[in-house]
Amino acid sequence: MRECVGCGFPLEAMGESSCPKCDYVESRRETREGVMTVDIAHNGETWELALEKLKRALDDAVYYDHSCLKVIHGYGSGGRESVIGPLAQRYLKHWAEGNGGRFVGDRHTRGASLVWLNR
């Protein structure tokens, strides 16, 4: 079974062009060296639990000298907007500003954001 490159979610249909979990759109060329990925919003997490996972991932990414942390926070489902996504983005922007990093949205999926650690 094929897996999403963005989050590892199993993709059943070979013809799918985007992931139903993180909305990742597969590109032909992807550079992943130095990128750490964490999914904080797809196992029924509350914002408090998602924030704990996010803080731990940021600490690990810095400690293990990754160049970037990709945070999969979702974009909402069932016609409802994401609760965790906007809060995570706000936290990541604030963290990046205070720690010499750079926050950007993932250009391949609206359900993820990137923090370049500039270390």
pLDDT in tens, the chain (119 residues): 566 666 777 766 545 556 777 766 554 333 334 899 999 988 888 999 999 999 999 999 988 889 999 999 988 776 677 789 999 999 999 999 999 999 999 998 889 999 999 75
Q: In the chain, what are the domain boundaries?
A: 31-116
Say what the pTM is.
0.70
Please tell me what DSSP assigns to residue 92: H
Architecture category of domain 31-116 in CATH? 2-Layer Sandwich (3.30)
Residue of 79, 117, 111, 82 lying closest to 99 (CA atoms): 117
84 secondary structure, DSSP code: H
Angle between helices 84-98 and 47-63 (to 10 degrees): 30
Tokens representing residue 112 in the block = 């993820």
- Sheet with 35-39, edge to edge strand ranges: 35-39, 68-72, 112-116, 102-105
